[in-house]
Structure formats: C-alpha cells, structure tokens
Amino acid sequence: MGRNARKRSTLANRAIAATAALIMGGGGLVAANVYANAGEGRSGQRSEQQQRQNSWQAMATIDCPEVGNDLREVPRQAKREVARELARMDTQITEAYKRFAEEKWQIQRDPQYAQNAILNPLKSKRVASIDRISIVISRWTQRPRGLDRLATCTLQADDNDTLKGGNQNEDNNDGNNNDNGGNNDNDNGGNQDNGNNNDGNNDGNNNNGNDNNGNGGQAGNGPEANDFVDIQDVQPNVREPRQRRNASRGVFTTKCGVNENGKFNPDNVIVAPGVANGAHHMHDYVGNQETDAFSSDDDLARGETTCRNQGDKSTYYWPVLRLQNGQDENDANEDGGGNDQNVGEIQTPTEVTLDFEGSPVSKVTAMPRFLRIITGDAKAFTNGDANANASWSCTGFEDRQLKDKYPICPEGSQVVRTFKFQSCWDGQNTDSANHRTHVAFANENGNCPNGFQAIPQLVQRIVYDVPQPSFGDNGVVYAVDSFPEQLHKAITDHGDFINVFDERLMDQVVFCINSGRRCR
C-alpha cells in the first residue's frame, strides 16, 4: 500500500475531510470535531447529532471472552478451519462495535436496546461459531468442553464498569476486569508493571481534555486524554536481573530498515492464517516481503528480505502508529484502516533496532526455523493485562517504562516502543494452539520454566518523531492501530515474529551471544 504523497493544509480541505468523516459514522465524528472550530464559520457549529453522540463519547466497548485462549490443543488438520472461525468471531465483534458506535443515542434512550439489538444477536453468532469450532476439532480428537460459556459479551466502560444493556457474566469476566498488573512481574527484567502507578500523574496533563468531552483528538474510538502521561512524571522503574557466572552476555543485531518500502496489510499469518484482514488493524512489516495471511513456510523461505544480512528472512511486524491529525491515509476506506476505525496518517519510524540477546543465567540454544512468537495482547483492554508486554517511553528517559499509557515526551525527545519477546522455548513446537504455550518468559531471576530452554531473546525497539499530544477541539494525538473495540489503548500494543534465519546464520547468532560478543 502506498502512502499519501500530499497532505491537506487548507481550511477548505479540512472541512471536506470533516464532512467525509461525519458520513463514515461513529469513527469520524471526532475527526470532524478536531477541525471544526469557531474560526471556520458554520463548520464550527456542532449539530444536534454530534452533540448527542459526543455525550456518549465517554469510551465504551464490547467485551467478549477470548475463545482462542481456551483452545489448548487443536489437531494439525483442524488448525486452518479453527483459525478461520476465530477470525470470523473477530469480524462479528467489529460489526457489533460499529452498530454500537452508530446507535449510541438509541442505547442512551433505551438501556435494553444494546442487549436486545446488538449483544443478543452477537451471542447467537458466537454460539454458532463455537459450535463449528467444536465440530471440526471433534473430527480428529475429543470435542472441547465448556466453550459455550464464552459466547456472552458485555458492554464495558473505559473504567471497566459494565454499562447498562449488557448482562454481567461473572464467570466470563472475572479475569477480564481485574487489575492484573502483577501478572507480568516475572515475565522479564525490562517489562515491569509500571503503567498502573501513574494515576496521580495524569491530573495535570489532562486538563484540556474536557474541551471535547475528555476525548482530545481521538478518532471516535480512542485514544482519550487520560491515555497519555508526561514521561517526566514517571519514576525510573527498569530493573534487570543480575548476570550470573554462566550468563550469555552477547548481542546479535540484525538491521532490516524501518519499512521504507511501505509494506502494510491488516493480516496476521500467525493467528489467522488464510484470512484476509484477520487483524482488523494495519501492520508495519520489516524483513520478509512475502508476508501476508496466505504465506506458507515455503513462501517465506523463498521471499525477499529488507534485512542487510540476506541470511535473515525472518518476518517482524507490529501495529502501525498513526497521527490523528485530520490527514487521510490511502486506507481510509479499506479494511484494517477506516473500515475498522483506524484513521490518521501512518508514521514511519525514525529507527528500528532488532537485537537478539542472551540469558542472564545460562547459554542459549538455537531457535528452530519457522518458530512463531507473538508478544503482548491485541485485546488486553478487554482480556486484562496478563499477557500485555509492550513498553512505552521516550528517548533520554528509557529507564522509565509505561505499559498502559502513551508517553508525552519533552521537546527534542522521541517516542519509543519496546517489545521484549519470550526467551524460553519448549524444545519441541514451533507454534501452539493459542500461539503462546510453546514459548515462555524467564522469571524475574532469568530462569526458564521447567522443561523450557533459553533461546536468543528478540528485543525490538521502535522510535518515532511525533508531536506532543494536544487535547481539545483542535487536538492532535497519536495511537497504535487496534481492533475497534480495544479503543486504541496503549496496553493493546503487540509484536509478532517468525524466525526465518538460515541454519548457518542462526548458528552464528548463538555463538555470538554465548561468547559474549556484539555482532551484526
């Protein structure tokens, strides 16, 4: 996908963009608000419809239990059909969320409208999908039990309070609505539960958010002013495990560019193979240029790569970061972009660093070819933060990391996203049914769980030069792409990796790390 070569700058063009956004529905109303002010004549006068919908801009989303997390064993013969059905369930949620965004006024007038017109039909579709998943699995092994309890969805407010119109199902939501900040304490040394300690720091930063009902420059489904925090108000919080005698201290760096090629798509070949728009948000890609929903291992092995070392044909991808500034991207009317309420100008990173690091307690062993790892959780806003693993910071302040907030960086400092991938492997599988259990994080001391072995840990650092967020009618903010119902929360950030190093280069990586060298 190409990028827009020319940016709109005149007030007339801004008015056109605002009108187009308004036609799009709930996802465009705030874009209209961003560029409509008293200095622009009649476009600055908010319509009754806008005022009504703005009264519901206190963010709310559809909370559905994640069925894939309960599928611990999926036979190889059933994987493709199961993945396709799980992707269909994501589409069902997206469609329901669009109705919810478009019909907020009816929901406000009739608290049962959401339940009767949106949630009940959604549940029926999910029951049918769960039944199809169970049937296809039962062709090859024992039919999974208890999945029907995951069919019910609720409406969840941004503060995690369930809204009227949704049936609270305690069995389904206990795990989703808790403050699970402690769950990642032992995941790795660099990703502490630090984002949840900043509530007291936000008050001074968000005073202007109320100009637009607290929503700043959001695109209709986030982010909000209180999704940002001044990095200078965060205390240093990075802790690294102590290096032991047998530590592998080396680092191997692979240079694969910053996606200068403009390779984007809304697929996810790991989670939803064979499903176009399986992610419902746009991904940046570096490395392998053949990666899309339909890529096989053979396709990846034959693919071209942007990596300087041609022995690395791995694929590295993550959600794009957009500047919500009223500028349209080429995907404004496409899946993954505007059709999924991801709007704004895609930002090309100024720097992408891909390091493979060692273990603080042991030597590392080679990754198997085509090992798949996802880190973080694209649905952490509704799932809870047990699997959240992105860190946000600013250059010059990287001893201060945020998990559930975007940083406001001082002048001259740039935004930094960091992913520390799982560094322990079960020694057998290149993937698993839920795409998580074949790999694991080391504990706080650097030790892998029993039965797992240390592998080179991918540490992915992505830097952006974006303006300071501003809030109010003319605010401009930045945010990662997300599933529509995840409201572009920072905590939903995630990264994906498929190892396509050739055997010779992977052996060099292991030797470099275990011998304590710095290689590239």
pLDDT of residue 61: 77
pLDDT for the residue 101: 76
pLDDT of residue 220: 63
**Arithmetic mean of pLDDT, 57-66:** 72
- For the segment 310-323, the average pLDDT, to the nearest whole number, is 98
Mean local confidence (pLDDT), 333-359: 96
Give me the residue label for tokens 């169970």. 134
Distance (Å, rounded) from C-alpha 466 to C-alpha 60? 27
Q: Output 220 or 251, whichever has higher pLDDT.
A: 251
pLDDT of residue 273: 92
Question: For the segment 499-510, what is each residue's pLDDT rounded down to a tens digit?
Answer: 999 999 999 999
Element (H, E) at 148: none
Residue 268 has pLDDT above 80, yes or no: yes
pLDDT for 219 equals 53
- Which of 70-84, 199-213, 427-441 has the least mean pLDDT? 199-213
List beta partners, residue 374: 496
pLDDT at position 103, please?
Answer: 85
pLDDT at 479: 97
Tracing tokens 């560094």 back to the chain, one arrives at 423
Share of the chain above pLDDT 90, in %: 62
pLDDT for residue 129 = 94
Average pLDDT of the residues in 204-222: 43
Mean residue pLDDT of the chain comes to: 80
Mean pLDDT of the 209-216 span: 34
DSSP state of 450: T
Model pLDDT for residues 396-444, shown as the tens digit of each residue? 999 999 999 999 999 999 999 999 999 999 999 999 988 999 999 999 9
Q: Higher confidence at residue 75 or residue 288?
A: 288
Q: What is the pLDDT of residues 370-382, one digit of tens each?
A: 999 999 999 999 8
Between 486 and 213, residue with greater pLDDT: 486
Neighbours of 159 (CB within 10 A): 9
Question: Is residue 214 predicted with pLDDT exceeding 70?
Answer: no
101 vs 274, more confident? 274
Q: What's the pLDDT tens digit per position in 34-47?
A: 222 222 222 233 34
Whole-angstrom distance, CA of residue 214 vs CA of residue 207: 9
Is the model's pLDDT at 10 over the cut of 50?
A: no
Neighbours of 98 (CB within 10 A): 20
Q: Quote the pTM value.
A: 0.75
Tokens of 262: 């403009």
Q: How far apart are CA 48 and CA 59, in angstroms?
A: 19
Predicted pLDDT at 98: 82
CB atoms inside a 10 Å sphere around CB 242:
11
Domain boundaries, the chain: 49-55+178-519
CB of 501 within 8 A of CB of 314? yes
Amino acid at 151: A
Of the listed ranges 26-30, 119-123, 342-346, the one predicted with least confidence: 26-30
392 vs 216 pLDDT, higher one: 392
pLDDT at residue 286 above 80?
yes
